[in-house]
Structure 1
């Protein structure tokens, strides 16, 4: 059996928490080639050491997945996590989290993909 790709999910906590929940659900499908450990904060007020915890989780991951919503490109936490991933040499990809709307890619966070099962299996497999 092939080892699953370990994915760190970066998302706009204030606006797009449900996207993280959806991608975790997809990671649990029988044919999913990736796994996600939920390292996100449980509340909106960040812990003092959240950056240390995020960096450690990014180091343990194989790839960083940015879930893109309307305001993600301005979310400070996402921008910090993307910087950490770049510092750690981790590949980064982005998926558009919603069907409708106009979305701006997060700077320096890799290619922007549509969110569908075929794309997820291709980029996270």
Structure 2
């Protein structure tokens, strides 16, 4: 059973190039201290109804984590999932998949308005904590 305080997330990633990164994020979500759990992730095969299925999956989430890798700008499915997230009002965050080398932004994102975050435990905790601000205050 998943505690009510954990945030459901949808993972968007380049299936052809970054599936291993998705597996790492799934592993991180399994940690008992993780503030999020994986509600679902990108669909591998683009069938006739995949966009409807993706929309349903994204709507079950509170945050879409977009793993950005070396070829993400060419991943049409990732760009589509971001558009769906915007359409249904689900927040999305860009997560740098690799520490070094060139990392590409997905289509439909902005250099000005869409920050790409480093994949750190603190960032993951902060980016997926959807509690109201008054519940995040730590009293000494």
TM-score, structure 2 as length reference: 0.80
Q: How does 1:1-125 map to 2 (within 5 A)?
A: 2-41=4-43, 44-106=44-106, 107-108=108-109, 110-125=114-129
**C-alpha separation in 1, matches of 2:7 and 2:33:** 12
Q: Secondary structure at the match of 1:83?
A: helix
Q: Deviation string for 1:30-89 (max 9, x for gaps)?
A: 100001033433xx5423211111100111110111000011122100000000000011
**C-alpha separation in 2, matches of 1:59 and 1:34:** 16
Q: Which runs of 4+ in 1 moved over 2 A?
A: 37-41, 44-48, 104-110
RMSD value, Cα: 1.6
CA positional deviation for 1:105: 2.5
Number of matched residues?
A: 123
CA positional deviation for 1:108: 2.4
- Which stretch of the first structure deviates more once superposed, 1-10 or 102-111? 102-111
Q: Secondary structure at the match of 1:100?
A: coil
TM-score, structure 1 as length reference: 0.89
Unmatched 5+ residue regions in structure 1?
none
Contact 2:39 2:60 in 1 (8 A): no
Q: Deviation string for 1:83-117 (max 9, x for gaps)?
A: 00000111110111112212132332732100111
Unmatched 5+ residue regions in structure 2?
130-140
CA positional deviation for 1:2: 4.9
